[in-house]
Amino acid sequence: MQDISFVIGGQAGDGVMRTAELLGKTFNRLGLFSFVINDYGSLIRGGHNFCKVRAASRQVWLHRESVDLIAAINQDTISKHKDELTEGGGVLFDSDVAKYEGPHTPLPLPITTMVKQAAGIPIMKNSVIIGAISYLYGIPLDLVNEILTWAYGARADKNIELAKIAYSHAEKNFEQILKVEQVKRPPTPFISGAETVALGAVKAGMKLYITYPMTPSTAILNYVGPNQDELGIVLVHPENEIGVANMMLGAAYAGVRTMAATAGGGFALMQEAFSMAGQAEIPSIFVVGQRLAPAVGVPTYTSQADLRFVLHAGHGEFPRIVVAPGDPEEAFVNAGEAVNLAWKYQTPAIILVDKHLLESYMSIGIDEGKVKIEPADMAESSAGEYKRYRFTDSGVSPMAFPGKPGAIVKVTSYEHDEDGYAIETPDGIENMQKKRLRKMALIEQDLKNRETVKIHGDPKTDNMVVAWGSTKGAILEAMMLLKNPLKFMQVLYLSPFPDWEVSKHLESAKNVVLVEGNLTGQLGSLIAEHTGHHIKNTVLKNDGRPFDPVLLAGKLEEAFGWK
Amino acid sequence: MEMREFDSPIQNTWCPGCGNFSILAAAKQAMFELVKSGELKPEQIVMSSGVGCHGKISDFIKINGFYCLHGRVPPPIMGIKVANQLLKVIAFSGDGDSYDEGVSHLIHAARRNLDVAFIVHNNQVFALTTSQVTPTTPLGFKTKSAPKGSFEVPLNPLHLMLSCGATFVARGFTGEIPHLRSLILQAIRHRGFGFVDVLQDCRTFNPTLEKFKPKVYDINKEGHNVGDFAAAWERAKEWDNRIPIGLFYKVEKEIYEKQLLGDRVLVDEKPLPSVQNLLKEFM
């Protein structure tokens, strides 16, 4: 099987991410399945940025730590990654600024000179690298030109020229690593979770996106910003996260499906508004992109430590929806579901993602038919005097938006009567509190018709791994490295908690291992709370990086007693 | 329609003689006038308020309403206007609400020139929580949170709004209801951020009515040029001997909603039916 893995590195600002993304897209066009992870620090220029690119003839869920090739814009990249090279690997480097003497094949390329001679600008070093790598993997030059034209439009000419120069240089001086074989398969997007969250929400009727920049959710903004017209949505960037959340409440009150995105720290600032969404029954969608916390933490690195935080966010008791997709396809579907659920049940929904899911790119099929607009319960014009919080058996009161003739639509952060006026009477309070909480059972019923838990691997074996979120990718890859069959239960919905599914699978398993990107086993404690099953066997870490499938496979062997 | 149709069924719980009654009366009269004249339909009006004594005004007017969290009046009304710019938003806030807790939102709403009327019930004290200092509490004023007297220099709301680029800056007084009604009407009719700071009497914790009454004068009757920013700034400095009320400054500038949306009414727009073409870009 073809399974290519290489790293491209340079300083922040060198354009490493763009290069990796374009190469990933190139392999995707050839029918290979690509994966690109972007690793960078919290700075604009300097430092060390790198991307690992993987392309294989089967679906890949994660990059590989080991690489067959280093492509280095600077010396630093070589010293940082030389130990990751597999036997027979090569080091492609800018011979104008770097040196390599070591056990692996040196592939010196005068990148800086080439760019200068072509009267290009430094960022075009990337096209030189693309040209050389294309030769090394036998990618046809026409395809490279096609991709560069797609990326740079009218400015593509010089990039195409440089790629060709580098390709010819490589052809003359280097030995090809391998010649990729095209794979025949239906085309799929090569896409990140940030982009699919936005697209899924749009497909479910989201028309307004409000955000304040904060890594990793800025990735969504970076897509939505330049594409807002094509997406048919409006983008607003208010003064702070408190403004974001409260503005979303106002827009949703006035009838527009609105989504807001932030990271854990930003969501901390949104707490009071989140609680108001519950109290005032205003449909609202919060994307929470986890990064390493507490506090500012490590801003550009991934984590899964905010599960308990979002489950308990906001003061008081009210229904909430929390869903945690594990890959860009699930992010598309779950974002759409979150929008629909929030609007059907008039309560806040959280799409819990993380830096790894939002910013990594992969080849993955997306069926837009999985998401459609599910209508909200709207008041009929002839329904008599409108009451925003009319008591109903289900707990859902038909909605109306301000501007509707004859309807007075009052929403409030105070406890209130059916008309939306503040109250303090014990009976009134309890009735309204219970009305809101009744919706939780309804949402649970709704979830029984959706995919709340996914089973991967061998469903018959009694050895089971349990995990959630983007850890999915590392587990699927690790499972392919293990000899023994494994069942993997991926929990998608965290609130309402799908105990009907989770209990069933836990009861049929003999050995269960929990894998999470946090140090306290937050999903494990949630499972114990809802099902009474205590998973004692755990593989936990929280160091900002996704699990390495090779190391994870070893840990799982230990945990299941296979070693 | 009759004005009493704006009366809500909720029993008013402000202290007897509270200055809020004057603001309520002036606001209702202004809304009524807009409806009666055919300028607005009642369903086009959305009122909003924050938390504090002033906030209860949301419960006392029977009209569309968004009763906010403390200090957070500007963001939801911005959301409302982005969703549906055909709605007319009349927002109420307090000195604790908007000059303290939510001052950043106020600054940005003014700076953006959001097309709303924004009326601040400024009684210079946290009243509902039974007397603590706000940013407009006078020096030396004793409250539960400043038992030895406040030593923090008070904020001048008019200067704040002028420097933030508010396009309509006015001050009303609860002792002058017809004048206040007129200011509120002008603020609503102003295309842009119509800001009215209202000197409000708090009978219980800061009775100012009798103190202010003899000092108050209407700058618009003394030849003030509302287009002159420097003159507005100078007038807004006055306080100790004479207290100026009226319209200080007014300028026409493009509103936030137009710049963001043009004439689009987002709530009426059909969402994108398919994302297939967008997905193709990633292939």
DSSP character string of A352-377: EEEHHHHH-EEE----GGG--PPPP-
Question: How many Cβ atoms sit within 10 Å of the Cβ of residue A329?
Answer: 21
Most A CBs within 10 Å: which of B72, B258, B276, as the mutation test of the A interface?
B72
Is residue B14 in a domain? no
Nearest to A256 by CA among B43, B121, B268: B268
Q: What is the DSSP letter of B98?
A: I
B43 min Cα distance to partner chain A (Å) = 5
Res A140 pLDDT > 60 = yes
Nearest Cα of chain B lies from the Cα of A257 at a distance, in angstroms, of 9
Distances A349 to A236, A318, A396, A496 between C-alpha atoms, Å: 20, 11, 16, 11
Q: Which residues of B touch A191 (CB under 8 A)?
A: 279, 282
| Confidence (pLDDT) at A45 | 86
Sign of the alpha-carbon dihedral angle for A211, A213, A217, A218: positive
Planar angle of CA A528, A530, A534, nearest 5 degrees: 15
Quote the minimal CA–CA distance from B244 to chain A in Å. Answer: 32
Mean pLDDT of A262-284: 98
Calpha distance A122→A536 (Å, rounded): 53
* pLDDT, tens only, A229-249: 999 999 999 999 999 999 999
pLDDT of residue A154: 87
Residue-number span of the structural domain to which B75 is assigned: 34-280
The answer to whether residue B27 sits within a structural domain is no
Would you put residue A166 in left (φ > 0), alpha (ψ -120 to 50) or beta?
Answer: alpha
CB-nearest to B283 from A189, A203, A243 is: A189
Tell me whether A212 touches chain B (CB under 8 Å).
Answer: no
B29 lies in a domain?
Answer: no
Q: What is the arrangement of strands in the sheet containing A208-211, beginning at the earlier edge strand?
A: A234-236, A208-211, A258-263, A284-290, A348-354, A321-323, A493-495
* CA neighbor of A335 nearest in space, from A497, A205, A500: A205
What rounded mean pLDDT belongs to chain A? Answer: 97
B75 with A246: Cβ contact below 8 A? yes
- The answer to whether A532 faces chain B, any CB pair under 8 Å, is no
Q: CB of A453 within 8 A of CB of A501?
A: yes
The answer to whether the CB atoms of A410 and B67 lie below 8 A apart is yes
Q: Total structural domains in chain B? A: 1
Best CA proximity match to A254, nearest among A433, A467, A409: A409
Give me the mean pLDDT over the A318-330 stretch: 98
Using CB atoms, pick whichever of B46, B67, B267 lies closest to residue A256: B267
Three-class SS string for A61-94?
CCCCCCEEEEEECCHHHHHHHHHHEEEEEEEEEE
Q: Per the CB < 8 Å rule, is A368 touching B274? A: yes
Q: Do B87 and A236 touch (CB under 8 A)?
A: no
pLDDT, residue B31, reads: 97
User: Residue A44: its pLDDT value, please?
Assistant: 85
Q: Report yes or no on B216 lying in a domain.
A: yes
CATH code (residue B128):
3.40.50.970
Cβ separation of A231 and B105 shorter than 8 Å? Answer: no
Q: What are phi and psi of B60, to 5 degrees?
A: -105, 0
A238/B78 Cβ within 8 A:
yes
Q: Which residues in chain B touch residue A244, judged by CB atoms under 8 angstroms apart? A: 75
**For residue A383, is pLDDT > 70?**
no
Q: Establish how many alpha carbons lie within 13 A of residue A130's alpha carbon, considering only the half-sphere containing its beta carbon.
A: 34
Whether residue B16 lies inside any domain: the answer is: no
CB A355 within 8 A of CB A302: yes
Pairing of strands A493-495, A321-323: antiparallel
User: Are the C-beta atoms of A279 and A415 separated by less than 8 Å?
Assistant: yes
Structure tokens at B242: 């004479």
Omega prior to A110 cis, within 30 of 0? no
- pLDDT computed for residue A381 by the predictor: 63
* Residue-wise pLDDT tens digits, A188-221: 999 999 999 999 999 999 999 999 999 999 999 9
Question: Could you give the percent of chain A with pLDDT greater than 90?
Answer: 96
Percent share of chain A, pLDDT over 70: 99
Closest residue on chain A to B269 (Cα) = A207
B80–A254 CB contact, under 8 Å: yes
pLDDT for residue A441 is more than 70: yes
- Does the predicted interface ipTM exceed a cut of 0.95? yes
The pLDDT score that the predictor gives to residue A195 is 98
Nearest CA in chain B to A26: B283
Each residue of A450-494: pLDDT tens digit? 999 999 999 999 999 999 999 999 999 999 999 999 999 999 999
Q: Tell me whether residue B182 is in a domain.
A: yes
Report chain B residues whose CB lies below 8 A from the CB of A245: 75
CB contact under 8 A, A401 and B84: yes
The residue assigned the tokens 């709301």 is: B157
Residue B26 maps to a domain: no
A318 in Cβ contact with A436 (< 8 Å): yes
* Helical axes A241-253 vs B103-112, angle rounded to 10°: 70
Residue A36, pLDDT > 70, answer: yes
Q: Are A322 and A352 in contact (CB under 8 A)?
A: yes
What's residue A104's pLDDT? 96
Dump pLDDT digits (tens) for A327-353. Answer: 999 999 999 999 999 999 999 999 999
Query: Structural domains in chain A?
Result: 3-173 (3.40.920.10), 190-370 (3.40.50.970), 453-559 (3.40.50.920)
**Contact between B171 and B245 (Cβ < 8 Å):** yes
B9, B63, B76 member nearest A247 (Cβ): B76
Q: Kindly state the DSSP code that residue A164 receives in the 8-state scheme.
A: H
Please name every residue paired with A36 in a beta bridge, in sequence order, or none if there are none: A53, A361
pLDDT digits (tens, 9 = 90+) for B136-180: 999 999 999 999 999 999 999 999 999 999 999 999 999 999 999
Average pLDDT of the residues in A414-421: 98
**Lookup: tokens for A379:** 């008041």
What pLDDT, on a 0 to 100 scale, did the predictor assign at position B3?
92
Whether residue B83 and residue A251 make contact (CB cut-off 8 A), yes or no, is yes
| pLDDT score of A1 | 86
> Can you tell me the distance from the alpha carbon of A119 to that of A106, in angstroms, rounded to the nearest whole number?
27
- Indicate the pLDDT class of residue B282, thresholds 50, 70 and 90: very high
In-domain check, residue B73: yes
Considering only CB atoms, B267 lies closest to which of A188, A233, A254, namely A254
Q: Hey, is the C-beta of A21 within 8 angstroms of any chain B C-beta?
A: no
Global pTM exceeds 0.90: yes
Are B104 and A243 within 8 A, CB to CB? yes
Q: Confidence class of residue A382 from pLDDT cuts 50, 70 and 90?
A: low
